[in-house]
């Protein structure tokens, strides 16, 4: 009897888990879902990967922000617009939060524009300088990030680098 009850509980938990997984939207999957879940969703609704949530984020921005690399890599290859600009910036701008060299390179190789600014006038280069990520600064500069752009404070990335006293980044921006 105990074995039968246990088996029934396992079946109910499995059904419940599957039902919960099927209720995930593309934004939930981007935040913390799997590539398998994304594939299942897009088989049913191929346009889902291009939706924009009420706050202005795409699934790609959310996947990059949360560091969900397998989902983000897939979205880079399949989303219509990898350069969507939310109030907080682009998918490329999120690399300052959960930096991944492979993900950054893939975004740049697929045409991510390093010069698109957020609501504060900050491009990914501003955010990379402010976070002190020397490797990201170098990658962005190598892919034509413009260090002469000014933010809403009328400052350039060089001015922020000087304020931070990060000599390695200052030297990169002098070139």
What residue segments make up the domains of the chain, in order of their start? Answer: 24-113, 115-175
Q: Computed from CA positions of residues 92, 96, 101, 103, in that sequence, does the dihedral angle turn out positive or negative?
A: negative
Per-residue confidence (pLDDT) for residue 3, from 0 to 100: 53
CATH code that applies to domain 24-113: 1.25.40.20
Per-residue confidence (pLDDT) for residue 22, from 0 to 100: 57
Out of 1.25.40.20, 3.30.365.10, 1.20.1440.230, 3.20.20.120, the CATH code matching 115-175 is 1.25.40.20
Give the list of residues 6+ apart from residue 125 with CB closer than 8 angstroms, or none.
114, 115, 137, 140, 141, 145, 146, 147, 149, 157
Mean pLDDT (whole number) for 89-101: 93
pTM: 0.83
Give the list of residues 6+ apart from residue 28 with CB closer than 8 angstroms, or none.
none
Domains 24-113 and 115-175 share a fold: yes
Q: Is the pLDDT score of 89 beyond 50? A: yes
DSSP letter for each residue of 61-112: HHHHHHT-HHHHHHHHHH-S-TT--BTTB-TGGGGGTS--HHHHHHHHHTT-
């Amino acid at each position: 009897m105990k074995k039968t009850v246990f088996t029934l509980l396992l079946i109910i938990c499995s059904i419940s888990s599957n039902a919960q997984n099927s209720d995930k939207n593309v934004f939930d999957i981007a935040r913390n879902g799997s590539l398998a879940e994304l594939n299942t969703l897009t088989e049913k609704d191929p346009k889902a990967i291009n939706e924009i949530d009420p706050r202005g984020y795409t699934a790609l921005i959310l996947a990059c922000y949360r560091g969900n690399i397998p989902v983000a890599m897939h979205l880079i290859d399949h989303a219509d617009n990898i350069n969507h600009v939310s109030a907080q910036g682009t998918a490329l701008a999120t690399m300052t939060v959960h930096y991944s060299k492979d993900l950054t390179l893939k975004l740049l190789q697929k045409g991510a524009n390093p010069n698109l600014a957020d609501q504060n006038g900050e491009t990914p280069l501003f955010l990379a300088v402010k976070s002190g990520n020397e490797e990201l600064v170098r990658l962005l500069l190598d892919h034509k990030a413009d260090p002469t752009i000014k933010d809403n404070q009328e400052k350039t990335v060089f001015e922020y680098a000087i304020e931070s006293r990060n000599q390695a980044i200052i030297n990169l921006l002098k070139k």
